[in-house]
Structures are given as structure tokens and as C-alpha cells.
Amino acid sequence: MGGIGPPPKDPSRRARQNKHPIPLRVVDAILAAKPDLPDFEVQVKVDGELMSQPFSWPAATETFWDMLDYHPLSGEFTAMDWSYLLDTARIHAAVWQGDIKLAAELRLREAKYGFTPEDRARLRLTFAQATGAEVTTAKKFVSARDRARGVTNVTE
């Protein structure tokens, strides 16, 4: 037996189709391990002459690079991701060395990998432990009586 109301509109006459113009393409990824921060030389001017000197990574950038081990998606990064993040680390180092003009680029690059809660929301990512915490909390309190256990009513 049909439901109450008018019959559904013909799908070809709907204003919104909500279809992706291009179907999702799934490809096999070749995962890569996280590389170390590279050693390299930079050109600096000393008394009007260009000289090469070894680049020294700021401690903040080394910490940034080490924290990527704990990024929830780091196990899914490819060599291209790590290359992009190495470039991001170089920008991070420049910002920590005082080149504030690069801060906007750093923010944009970090957003692509969900570094802040807002970025993760935009990418529709969430951490699994939040769900686990809710389950743990729900198991602690089975009923209203359990929640109130230990609470006493003090009357004067």
C-alpha cells in the first residue's frame, strides 16, 4: 500500500540532482616512510659575497617534524605527501627564524593536513578516541541511580 501524499517527482525534473559531475576514482597508493629532515646548505651574503653555510633547523621545526609521527594519517602518506611536508617544514623554519611573511602560507599548508580542530572539521576528520571516551563514560553510568550514587541529601 502506498503512502499518503502526492507521488514522488520524476527524478529528471528535479532541480537538484546532487550527483558528482565526475565519479570518484580510487587508486592504489604507494605508502612511504617519513624521511629525516635533510642536511643542506644555504647561500648567505657576507660582506657582499655569497657564501654557502650549513642550514640549521630551528628546535621548533624539529619538534614540528617529530610530532608528525603522531598525526593520525601519517601511516597513509605517500612520498609526495612527505615531499610537500618537507617543503612545509622549510617554511616553518623560515617563520621561526623571523620571516613572518610566510606565516599565511604555513597556515594554508598545515590546513591541508588537518593540523587544527577547525581544519579537521573542514576535512571531515575526527579522532576515534573521542568515540571510545563516550562509550567508556556510558558504561560507567548505567542508570540514574548509579549516577546519583554517593550523593547525599543534606537537610537542616
Indicate if the pLDDT at residue 31 is higher than 60: yes
Residue 135: its pLDDT value, please? 60
Contact status, residue 106 vs residue 97, Cβ threshold 8 Å: no
Indicate if the pLDDT at residue 14 is higher than 70: yes
Query: Nearest-CA neighbor of 113 among 51, 65, 149?
Result: 65
**47-101 pLDDT tens trace:** 999 999 999 999 999 999 999 999 989 999 999 999 999 999 999 999 999 999 9
Helix (H) or strand (E) holding 118: helix 117-122
**Residue 88: other Cβ atoms inside 10 A:** 22
The verdict on pTM exceeding 0.75 is no
Query: Rounded to whole angstroms, how far apart are CA atoms 103 and 96?
Result: 9
**Residue 149: other Cβ atoms inside 10 A:** 9
